[in-house]
């Protein structure tokens, strides 16, 4: 490739120094292919999946272009979900931490509207948000996009799948086409994505990179169900046989996702559903509990799981083959990251043999049907997660930090540090994973003690 090191790019010394301090030296394929064109001010369409390093690609491009002294909204980044928007904003703040007075603001649904209006009144350089909430602010006149010179559509295919076409048209229509550079990042290049690119982009350069993980490191297993109603029995057998610490089960519809999660829960499995009909609070708690290993199974739709930030996912089970074969490869690519061995199972029926043939042709490999684990596994006790989660009704706005929570738990007559798991701080809530056998003691310690000199309500979720 033309560029392998960030130092080979025409980046400012401040950005290069910060990249070195973060340990970012070599570019990922999507960065190497897209950054030169981005830095030249060209419109770019980049096709690459989650985890490919795309956020740093457009993040460096926007930071290089940004005029910090001009306190106007210069960059707008649109994302399909609040979780992805939060991740993107966090990465941009990290990349730009050595640039003084840079202001990044997130505007997403599921959060109170009033405080966002207050933040907008104070101004910002970069807005990261979801189309629905951005459109709400535009409609109420609390947001103006007149000075935007860089528009970034992150996970464009998912935004269109989620029904944001008209919102995108409205939002993009309120930016200046003449002054604007447009970047589009998408895992797939569906017809709808091509249409929006044709309408809003000027002679874009197209960049495509292969998967950033090695699918050869992922063991693919195929199992046959007698019929649709038998699928759940097959899933139960697989869960009992392999007993992975963290498993995502992908379903093709929201209704099926909830039904599968409910039925597995009725059988005693530690499971939650993740789909677009969840309230934001429930979605946040579901992700918190799965990421911190106090829930071992997540049943999800593809759209809901997009932007899901899980470092080490043990296994993926495809309840059916995905409707889009490219989506299928993204599903299995969520396991086996960071050099770990991945594990993916797919369940089919006789009626789906034609889908299997198409999948094998797409993957250019044969996947043999394996015998099901023994049926008596269904009589075995179901293993529960080692961790449980406590919710504290105090977060960033109350100046609560992870060290405060850890100190309160491990202080005088407290529990051991290795009995405390992941600590996550939100605006007004905090979550801490505790080894299950120490949960009641930890709950008592936090309830009777104090954080930041204050008492906060604490409960198990």
Q: Is the pLDDT of residue 376 over 60?
A: yes
pLDDT in tens, 284-307: 899 999 999 999 999 998 876 665
Sequential DSSP letters for 232-284: HHHHHHHHHHH--SSEEEE-SSHHHHHHHHHHHHHTT--EEEE-TTS-HHHHH
**6-208 and 387-460: identical CATH topology:** no
Secondary element (H or E) of residue 347 = strand 342-348
> What pLDDT band is residue 367 in, cutting at 50, 70 and 90?
confident
- pLDDT confidence of residue 213: 46
- pLDDT confidence of residue 179: 82
Angle at 92 between CA 114 and CA 17, to 5 degrees: 145
Cβ atoms of 267 and 236 closer than 8 Å:
yes
- pLDDT confidence of residue 218: 73
What's the whole-number average pLDDT of the chain?
88
- pLDDT confidence of residue 103: 94
Average pLDDT over residues 352-381: 90
CATH 3.40.50.300 fits domain 215-379: yes
> What pLDDT band is residue 280 in, cutting at 50, 70 and 90?
confident
Q: Which long-range contacts (CB under 8 A, 24 or more apart) does 352-355 make?
A: 352/320, 352/321, 355/321
Q: Is the pLDDT of residue 308 over 90?
A: no
Cβ atoms of 356 and 348 closer than 8 Å:
yes
Calculate the CA 249 to chain-centre distance.
Answer: 16
- 76: tokens are 């707008």
- pLDDT confidence of residue 460: 94
Average pLDDT over residues 386-392: 96
Start-end of H helices in 383-427: 402-410
d(CA 66, CA 418): 43
Give the residue extent of every domain in the chain.
Answer: 6-208, 215-379, 387-460
In the chain, what percentage of residues exceed pLDDT 70? 93
Q: Is the pLDDT of residue 49 over 80?
A: no
- Which of 52-56, 199-203, 334-338, 447-451 has the highest mean predicted lDDT (pLDDT)? 199-203
The residue count for the chain: 461
- 268: tokens are 């005693």
- pLDDT confidence of residue 309: 60
**Radius of gyration for the alpha carbons in the chain, expressed in angstroms and rounded:** 23
b/e per residue 274-306 (b: at least 16 CB within 10 A): bbeebeeeebbbbbbbbbbbbbbbbbbbbbbbb
Angle at 248 between CA 388 and CA 253, to 5 degrees: 120
Average pLDDT over residues 157-171: 89
Provide CATH code, domain 387-460.
Answer: 3.30.70.330
- pLDDT confidence of residue 216: 55
Cβ atoms of 112 and 58 closer than 8 Å:
no
- 459: tokens are 């409960």
Residue 116 makes CB contacts below 8 A (sequence gap 6+) with 105, 107, 133, 137, 142
> What pLDDT band is residue 219 in, cutting at 50, 70 and 90?
confident
From residue 137, how far is each of 134, 264, 388, 461 by CA, in Å? 5, 41, 38, 33
In the chain, what percentage of residues exceed pLDDT 90? 59
Secondary element (H or E) of residue 384 = none
- pLDDT confidence of residue 51: 63
> What pLDDT band is residue 153 in, cutting at 50, 70 and 90?
very high
Q: Is the pLDDT of residue 53 over 90?
A: no
- pLDDT confidence of residue 336: 65
d(CA 291, CA 253): 23
- Which of 159-163, 229-233, 313-317 has the highest mean predicted lDDT (pLDDT)? 229-233
Helix 131-140 vs helix 113-121: angle between axes, to the nearest 10 degrees?
A: 70
- Which of 128-132, 186-190, 365-369 has the highest mean predicted lDDT (pLDDT)? 128-132
CATH superfamily for domain 6-208: P-loop containing nucleotide triphosphate hydrolases (3.40.50.300)
> What pLDDT band is residue 99 in, cutting at 50, 70 and 90?
confident
- pLDDT confidence of residue 333: 75
Q: Is the pLDDT of residue 428 over 50?
A: yes
């Amino acid at each position: 490739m033309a560029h392998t090191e960030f130092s080979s790019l025409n980046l400012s010394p401040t950005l290069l120094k910060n990249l070195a301090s973060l340990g970012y030296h070599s570019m990922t394929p999507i960065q190497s292919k897209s950054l030169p064109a981005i830095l030249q001010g060209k419109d770019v369409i980049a096709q690459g999946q989650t985890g490919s390093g795309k956020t740093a690609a457009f993040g460096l491009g926007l930071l290089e272009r940004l005029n910090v002294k001009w306190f106007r909204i210069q960059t707008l980044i649109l994302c399909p979900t609040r979780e992805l928007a939060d991740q993107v904003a966090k990465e941009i703040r990290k990349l730009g931490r050595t640039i003084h007075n840079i202001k990044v603001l997130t505007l997403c649904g599921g959060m109170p509207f009033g405080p966002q209006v207050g933040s907008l009144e104070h101004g910002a350089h970069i807005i990261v948000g979801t189309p629905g909430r951005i459109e709400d602010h535009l409609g109420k006149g609390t947001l103006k996009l007149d000075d935007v010179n860089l528009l970034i559509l992150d996970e464009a295919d998912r935004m269109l799948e989620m029904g944001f076409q008209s919102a995108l048209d409205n939002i993009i229509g309120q930016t200046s086409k003449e002054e604007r550079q447009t970047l589009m990042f998408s895992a797939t290049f569906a017809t709808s994505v091509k249409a929006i690119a044709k309408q809003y982009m000027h002679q874009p350069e197209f960049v495509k990179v292969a998967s950033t993980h090695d699918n050869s490191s992922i063991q693919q297993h195929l199992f046959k169900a007698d019929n649709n109603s038998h699928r759940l029995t097959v899933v139960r057998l697989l869960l009992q046989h392999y007993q992975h610490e963290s498993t995502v089960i992908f379903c093709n519809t929201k209704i099926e996702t909830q039904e599968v999660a409910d039925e597995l829960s009725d059988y005693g499995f530690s499971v939650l559903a993740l789909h677009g009909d969840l309230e934001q609070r429930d979605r946040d708690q579901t992700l918190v509990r799965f990421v911190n290993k106090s829930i071992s199974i997540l049943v999800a739709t593809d759209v809901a799981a997009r932007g899901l930030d899980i470092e080490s996912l043990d296994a993926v089970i495809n309840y059916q083959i995905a409707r889009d074969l490219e989506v299928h490869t993204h599903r299995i690519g969520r396991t086996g990251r960071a050099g770990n061995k991945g594990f993916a199972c797919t369940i089919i029926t006789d009626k789906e043999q034609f889908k299997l043939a198409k999948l094998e042709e797409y993957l250019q490999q044969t996947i043999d049907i394996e015998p099901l684990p023994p049926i008596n596994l269904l009589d075995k006790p179901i293993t529960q997660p080692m961790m449980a989660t406590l919710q504290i009704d105090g977060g960033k706005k109350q100046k609560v930090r992870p060290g405060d929570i850890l100190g309160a738990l491990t202080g005088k007559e407290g529990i051991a540090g290795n009995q405390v798991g992941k600590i996550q701080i939100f605006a007004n809530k905090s979550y801490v994973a505790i080894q299950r056998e120490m949960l009641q003691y930890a709950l008592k310690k936090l309830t009777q003690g104090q954080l930041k000199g204050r008492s906060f309500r604490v409960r198990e979720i």
